[in-house]
């Protein structure tokens, strides 16, 4: 397998059986993502993008087909191996931030490193480094309730980077933000993608973001209706 390929999905099908009735959600989805790409997976409600997100995030398994992440067939891993692999290889960013309100910003950033059993000194140093990258180096002692929505999402971005994952998986990361703040977060993604060479996969229903991605995968009724790569038309604004 090409070492530059981070994610490879081949003929992914997902079928649910609520009440004994088969519902085909994904119908033969195949694509690959190379290291350093900023990818958008777009689709309206019911297109299959949420199921696609869960499979990419190793939160669900396909009914059939194969998923290779950094050259590893994730279906070959045990449940405990998958949990460890997920924590080290995927950085999650959610629409609702998912921060712990009783922890400081520094402690929130450290959470995945705690699961990885990193030493406290190493955790603190990495948290400070990442807080500075997202522009919050001066807020480490604050708690989420003392931050704006945009600042909370910056904390979530920092947290997602702490284990140097193979890719970031962002689920509607601007959905709870106003337009100005959402654009600032998108600019931050560009900065991280460009300066840190971080692969980013963003799942969204918002077609207005298409020009931000260098690869777009559009889902409709469980199938890819088009997938294309284009250079960005212009340099994104600095965060």
All domains in the chain, ordered by first residue: 5-229 (3.40.50.300)
Confidence band for 19, pLDDT divided at 50, 70 and 90: confident
Residue 98 CB contacts under 8 Å (≥ 6 apart), including other chains = 92, 156
Confidence band for 93, pLDDT divided at 50, 70 and 90: very high
> 34, 4 in Cβ contact below 8 A?
yes
Nearest to 157 by CA among 93, 88, 238: 93
Inform me whether the pLDDT recorded for 2 exceeds 70: no
Inform me whether the pLDDT recorded for 228 exceeds 90: no
Indicate the average pLDDT of the chain. 90
Which residue do the tokens 């971005």 mark?
157
Instruction: Record the pTM.
Output: 0.90
pLDDT digits (tens, 9 = 90+) for 31-88: 999 999 999 999 988 899 999 999 999 999 999 999 999 999 999 999 999 999 999 9
Inform me whether the pLDDT recorded for 239 exceeds 70: no
- Residue 204 CA from chain centroid, whole number: 11
């Amino acid at each position: 397998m090409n070492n530059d390929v981070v994610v490879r999905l081949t003929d992914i099908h997902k079928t649910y059986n609520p009440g004994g009735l088969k519902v085909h959600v994904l119908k033969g989805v195949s694509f690959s993502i190379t290291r350093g790409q900023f990818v958008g997976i777009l689709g309206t409600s019911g297109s299959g993008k949420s199921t696609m997100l869960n499979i990419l995030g190793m939160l669900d398994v396909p009914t059939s087909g194969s998923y290779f992440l950094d050259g590893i067939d994730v279906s070959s891993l045990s449940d405990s191996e998958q949990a460890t692999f997920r924590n080290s290889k995927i950085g999650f960013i959610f629409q609702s931030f998912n921060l712990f309100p009783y922890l400081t910003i520094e402690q929130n950033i450290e959470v995945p490193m705690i699961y990885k059993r990193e030493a406290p000194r190493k955790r603190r140093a990495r948290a400070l480094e990442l807080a500075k990258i997202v522009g919050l180096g001066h807020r480490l002692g604050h708690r989420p309730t003392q931050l704006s929505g945009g600042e909370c999402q910056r904390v979530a971005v920092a947290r997602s980077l702490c284990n140097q994952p193979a890719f970031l998986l962002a689920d509607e990361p601007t959905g709870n933000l106003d337009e100005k703040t959402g654009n600032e977060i998108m600019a931050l993604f560009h900065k991280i993608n460009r300066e840190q060479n971080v692969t980013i996969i963003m799942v969204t229903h918002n077609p207005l973001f298409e020009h931000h991605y260098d690869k777009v995968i559009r889902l409709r009724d469980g199938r890819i209706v088009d997938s294309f790569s284009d250079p960005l038309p212009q340099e994104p604004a600095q965060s």
